[in-house]
Amino acid sequence: MNPRVKKVKYKSPYKLLITFSNGEIKEFDFSSYLNYPVFMVLRNEAFCQKAKVLNGTVIFDEETDFDPDTLYLESKSLTAV
């Protein structure tokens, strides 16, 4: 199992700065997801500001979230473990 999200901060445009449970800090660029219907709401950057951590992943509302494994595996590492 990959580490889970402990902290998140939205970075414009369409990036999340994520701290994982193993202490690693990564940047997740979700711009490539914006054409999928479920993620089209994220084109609104004011909506993106709602990013928060719930149960080890990032959510924006009750319908919009990312899989925690996707967040970890597709993010660019900014710090070493």
DSSP string for residues in 37-62: GGGGGGGSHHHHTT-EEETTEEESSS
pLDDT at residue 81 greater than cutoff 80 = no
Read off the tokens for 38. Answer: 């479920």
Beta strands 15-20; 25-29: pairing state: antiparallel
Would you state the pLDDT for residue 76?
Answer: 97
* Cβ atoms 16, 51 nearer than 8 A: yes
pLDDT of residue 1: 83
Q: Which residues are within 8 A (CB) of 56 and not within 5 positions of it... i.e. 6 or more apart?
A: 4, 5, 21, 68
Q: Where are the domains of the chain?
A: 5-77
Is the CATH number of domain 5-77 3.30.2420.10?
no
What pLDDT does 79 receive? 73
